[in-house]
């Protein structure tokens, strides 16, 4: 029992210790510290947030610092979270230990209760034993106790103090029973002892566990203190950092505020100066506002007035238009008549001469003298010295060697543009081989001749007239070789073409199967020339030789439709590079060369005959005598115009050929001059032209053409000096003076003709300010 009491006391101590520990663990400083730390952490977070909100980052470095601080804070936050987690774990362990302590306490209570029970049973048993002993003692002893029960004496020394002599069977039986009971009690006692030992063992274990728990608690307390110290230090650092950042931000904010204040002062000053302007603007605005309010009514009024004016103007314009249209039609007729008159005055067929320059190779050769000379006062005279004689040739225009392609074209461009007005035009290049026919007509790549320039001019002219006229330009290219007609623009240029009468009954001629290409741009022109040149080259073995012996024709048809009057026009421009003329008179040729010479001879003389017949106004014109004249019949007859460009070589070696060419030109021209002079005379004899009678415009004075000075073909100064001496003989000086006067008169006539031409060209535009 004493041991039990001791154990009880120990248990009590243990329980008190556990209670103390539990009370310590239940509301420890650690938890309080943890709570405080959490609260502090939260407060810092709030402060940081408010700092961030109240101090907008105005500078990059501040932003970076704040970012670094944020990182630092988040790092510390994560560490605090780790600590919190660790604390939670510790708390969890403590709870576990508490549970175990409670279980131990329960076990202790249980063993205490069991011990109390066993003690009570023992007391009861002992009471029973004492009662039995008293009862036995009170009963007459028949039993002589002979033997002392040592065991009972050892167990119950205080109760069994005397030896009893057992004599009876009952006593003996009772002794046996008592012994049995005693044995049972001893067993119970040993069981109690065993239980006590177990309890002691459990108590030891509990003490050991308590010791371990204390140790752990000490360790945790140490850790907590360390963590708390670190946290406090970090909080301190953060606090300092925060203060520093706030300080810096405050300084920056102050400086910015200062700048803002300065700006504000400047703005205030500006505002003060702007106020008068604002007042002015306000008054202007009010004024404008009033005007805007009045504007609709003003606008309506103006619109109605404008409408009335427009209606008036439209009716005026419409009547003016009618008048203009009437005048335009009348002027077109007048222009046509004027043109006819002009052509009649100038002659339908004009003859120019171009002398080619001496080439570099020819200059180097021995015979490089030129036997041609020009009249400085008259650009229509050409002198040719031969065998001591000077021959004078008078043509419409003579181009010296230095004349450029542009100058030549300027003289022919009036003819070219007349084809837009519906006239047929022929331009021939005539002369011996190498005299410059191809150069004049085709030119070279960087200096084109009449062909390309004419097409380009036509393009520019039709483009200019585009608003009123719709023009179409069609190009064909043919070659006549040995009286055979070939199409130079078809795929197979060796095919022979025929000239036939048009089956429509118009009496016009046409070439079946002739390729006609509509050109729409200068690029198209280049392509056409390239194709023609290529085909001409592929049809022969030697292009130069071949070109000397064939006629090349570029036929340009210009069709127009006037969008106002619906008038249609169609003109044809024929640009002909003739075969070399030197073969005409050459004899001795045989075979193919003879045939070539015959063909060339035939066609050139037929051309001469046709021109002669036309100028002489013969009833019959022999167009059919050659392919060339037959093909050009339409373009040579009627009110068509022809220009013969006679090409001449300046070298003495080509003298005879040059004389032949110039004589041919002179003959052609003299026919025309005589014809036109008679006509002009007829016209001048009448009081007024019927053309002018029908017009309101002022009459045109006929241009005085130098018709009286026509010298016969091949006339020379020597022949002139051989004329009868009498009244018509003139001295050399008189002749020069006459020539000068003649030149002046001629140049006046030329200017007048040019003026007349330009006037006629003005008439073609319906709204031109210049009226004939």
Ligand X SMILES: Nc1ncnc2c1ncn2[C@@H]1O[C@H](COP(=O)(O)OP(=O)(O)OP(=O)(O)O)[C@@H](O)[C@H]1O
Residues that bind ligand X (CB under 6 A): 356-357, 359, 431, 433-439, 547-548, 580, 647
Report the distance separating Cα 415 and Cα 432, nearest Å: 25
CB of 706 to ligand X, least distance (A): 27
We find the least distance from the C-beta atom of residue 488 to ligand X, in angstroms, to be 15
DSSP annotation string for 462-485:
HHHTTTTEEEEEEEEEEEEETTEE
612 a known binding residue?
no
- Round to whole Å and give the CA distance between 403 and 405: 7
Q: Cα(223)–Cα(83) distance, rounded to whole angstroms?
A: 10
Q: What DSSP letter does each residue of 592-646 carry, written as one string?
A: HHHHHHHHHHHHHHHHHHHHHHHHTT-S---GGGSHHHHHTHHHHSTT-EEEEEE
Q: Collapse the DSSP code of 316 into the 3-class scheme (helix H, G, I; strand E, B; otherwise coil) and give the result.
A: helix
Question: Is 437 a known ligand-binding residue?
Answer: yes
SS3 category, 585: coil
H helices, E strands: number in the chain: 18, 17
Q: Please name the residue that has the structure tokens 């329960």.
A: 106
Helix%, strand%, coil% for the chain, nearest 5: 65, 10, 25
513 assigned ligand-binding residue: no
CB of 458 to ligand X, least distance (A): 23
Shortest Cβ 434–ligand X spacing (Å): 5
How far is it, in rounded angstroms, from Cα 295 to Cα 569? 55
CB closer to ligand X, 321 vs 413 = 413
Q: How many whole angstroms separate alpha carbon 186 and alpha carbon 192?
A: 10
- Taking the C-alpha atoms of residue 479 and residue 534, their distance in angstroms, rounded to an integer, is 13
Determine the residue with CB nearest ligand X. Answer: 436
**Nearest CB to ligand X, comparing residues 581 and 642:** 581
Q: Which is nearer to ligand X, 450 or 613 (CB)?
A: 450
Nearer to ligand X, 106 or 359 (CB): 359
* H or E segment to which residue 219 belongs: helix 169-346
> In the bound complex, what is the minimum distance in angstroms from residue 416's beta carbon to ligand X?
19
Closest approach of ligand X to the CB of residue 697, in Å: 42
State how far the Cα of 152 lies from the Cα of 157, in Å rounded to an integer. 7
What tokens appear for 400 in the block? 């010296």
By beta-carbon proximity to ligand X, the closer residue of 185 and 646 is 646
Q: Considering beta carbons, is residue 473 or 576 the nearer one to ligand X? A: 576
Residue 435 labeled ligand binder: yes
Asked whether residue 45 is marked as a ligand-binding residue, the answer is no
Task: Please give the structure tokens belonging to residue 217.
Answer: 């608690």
Q: Which is nearer to ligand X, 66 or 659 (CB)?
A: 659
Residue closest to 83 by CA, chosen among 233, 230, 227, 235:
227
**Min separation Cβ 582 and ligand X, Å:** 9
> Residue 433 CB, nearest distance to ligand X (Å)?
4
Closest to ligand X by CB, 348 vs 548, is 548
Contacts of 508 (CB under 8 A, 6+ apart): 501, 502, 634
CA-CA distance, 495 to 480, in Å (whole number)? 12
Q: What is the closest distance, in whole angstroms, from the C-beta atom of residue 360 to ligand X in the complex?
A: 10
Q: Tokens standing for 607? A: 């051309």
Tell me whether residue 173 is annotated as binding: no
- Least distance in Å: CB of 590 to ligand X? 21
Least distance between ligand X and beta carbon 345 (Å): 29
Contact between 579 and 627 (Cβ < 8 Å): no
| Size (the chain), residues | 772
The span from the CA of 599 to the CA of 551, in Å, is: 11
Q: Which is nearer to ligand X, 89 or 545 (CB)?
A: 545
Q: Which is nearer to ligand X, 358 or 717 (CB)?
A: 358
Q: Which residues, listed in sequence order, are joined to residue 560 by a DSSP beta bridge? A: 471, 569
Rounded Cα distance, 262 and 600, in Å: 104
Q: Which is nearer to ligand X, 424 or 433 (CB)?
A: 433
Question: Strand runs (DSSP E) across 259-380, as ranges?
Answer: 349-355, 372-374
Instruction: List the binding residues for ATP.
Output: 431-438
Residue positions in the annotated binding site?
A: 431-438
């Amino acid at each position: 029992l004493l041991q039990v009491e001791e154990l009880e006391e120990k248990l009590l101590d243990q329980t008190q210790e556990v209670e103390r520990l539990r009370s310590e663990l239940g509301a420890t400083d650690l938890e309080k510290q943890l709570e405080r730390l959490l609260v502090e952490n939260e407060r810092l977070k709030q402060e940081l947030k408010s700092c961030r909100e109240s101090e907008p980052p105005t500078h990059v470095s501040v932003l970076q610092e704040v970012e670094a601080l944020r990182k630092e804070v988040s790092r510390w936050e994560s560490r605090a979270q780790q600590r919190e987690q660790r604390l939670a774990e510790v708390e969890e362990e403590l709870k576990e230990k508490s549970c175990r302590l409670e279980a131990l306490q329960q076990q202790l209570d249980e063993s205490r209760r069991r011990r109390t029970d066993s003690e009570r049973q023992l007391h009861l048993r002992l009471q029973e034993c004492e009662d039995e002993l008293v009862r036995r003692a009170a009963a007459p002893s028949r039993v002589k106790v002979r033997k002392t029960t040592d065991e009972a004496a050892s167990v119950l020394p205080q109760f069994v103090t005397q030896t009893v002599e057992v004599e009876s069977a009952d006593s003996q039986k009772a002794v046996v029973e008592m012994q049995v009971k005693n044995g049972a009690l001893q067993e119970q006692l040993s069981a109690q002892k065993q239980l006590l030992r177990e309890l002691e063992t459990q108590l030891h274990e509990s003490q050991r566990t308590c010791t371990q728990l204390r140790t752990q608690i000490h360790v945790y307390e140490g850790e907590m203190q360390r963590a708390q110290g670190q946290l406090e230090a970090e909080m301190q650092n953060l606090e300092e950092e925060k203060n520093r950042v706030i300080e810096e931000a405050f300084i920056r904010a102050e400086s910015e505020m200062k700048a803002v204040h300065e700006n504000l002062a400047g703005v205030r000053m500006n505002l003060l100066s702007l106020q008068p302007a604002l007042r002015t603007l306000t008054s202007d605005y009010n004024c404008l506002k009033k005007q805007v309010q009045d504007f609709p009514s003003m606008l309506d009024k103006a619109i109605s007035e404008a409408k009335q004016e427009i209606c008036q103007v439209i009716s005026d314009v419409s009547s003016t238009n009618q008048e203009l249209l009437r005048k335009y039609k009348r002027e077109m007729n007048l222009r046509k008549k004027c043109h006819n008159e002009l052509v009649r005055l100038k002659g339908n067929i004009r003859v120019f001469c171009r002398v080619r320059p001496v080439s570099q190779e020819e200059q180097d050769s021995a015979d490089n003298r030129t036997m041609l000379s020009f009249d400085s006062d008259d650009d229509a005279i050409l002198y040719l010295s031969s065998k001591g004689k000077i021959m004078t040739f008078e043509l419409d225009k003579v181009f010296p060697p230095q004349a450029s392609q542009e100058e030549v074209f300027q003289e022919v461009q009036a003819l070219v543009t007349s084809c837009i007005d519906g006239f047929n035009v022929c331009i021939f290049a005539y002369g011996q081989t190498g005299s410059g026919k191809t150069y004049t007509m085709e030119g070279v790549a960087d200096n084109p001749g009449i062909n390309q320039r004419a097409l380009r001019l036509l393009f520019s002219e039709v483009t200019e007239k585009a608003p009123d006229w719709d023009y179409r330009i069609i190009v064909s290219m043919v070659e006549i070789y040995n009286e055979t007609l070939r199409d130079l623009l078809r795929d197979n240029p060796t095919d022979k073409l025929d000239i036939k009468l048009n089956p429509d009954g118009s009496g016009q001629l046409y070439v079946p199967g002739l390729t006609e290409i509509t050109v729409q741009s200068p690029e198209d022109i280049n392509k056409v020339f390239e194709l023609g040149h290529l085909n001409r080259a592929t049809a022969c073995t030697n292009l130069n030789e071949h070109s000397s012996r064939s006629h090349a024709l570029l036929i340009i048809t210009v069709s127009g439709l006037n969008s106002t009057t619906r008038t249609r026009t169609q003109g044809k421009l024929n640009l002909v590079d003739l075969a070399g003329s030197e073969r005409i008179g050459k004899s001795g040729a045989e075979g193919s060369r003879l045939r070539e010479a015959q063909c060339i001879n035939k066609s050139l003389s037929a051309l001469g005959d046709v021109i002669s017949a036309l100028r002489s106004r013969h009833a019959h014109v022999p167009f059919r005598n050659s392919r060339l004249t037959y093909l050009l019949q339409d373009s040579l007859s009627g009110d068509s115009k022809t220009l013969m460009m006679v090409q001449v070589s300046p070298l003495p070696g080509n003298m005879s050929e040059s004389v032949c060419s110039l004589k041919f030109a002179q003959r052609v021209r003299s026919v025309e001059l005589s014809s036109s002079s008679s006509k002009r005379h007829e016209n001048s004899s009448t009081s007024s032209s019927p053309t002018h009678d029908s017009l309101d415009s002022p009459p045109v004075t006929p241009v005085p053409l130098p018709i009286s000075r026509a010298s016969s073909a091949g006339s020379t100064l020597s022949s002139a000096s051989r004329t009868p001496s009498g009244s018509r003989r003139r001295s050399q000086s008189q002749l020069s003076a006459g020539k000068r006067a003649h030149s002046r008169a001629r140049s006046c006539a030329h200017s007048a003709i040019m003026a007349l031409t330009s006037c006629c060209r003005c008439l073609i535009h319906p709204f031109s300010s210049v009226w004939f």
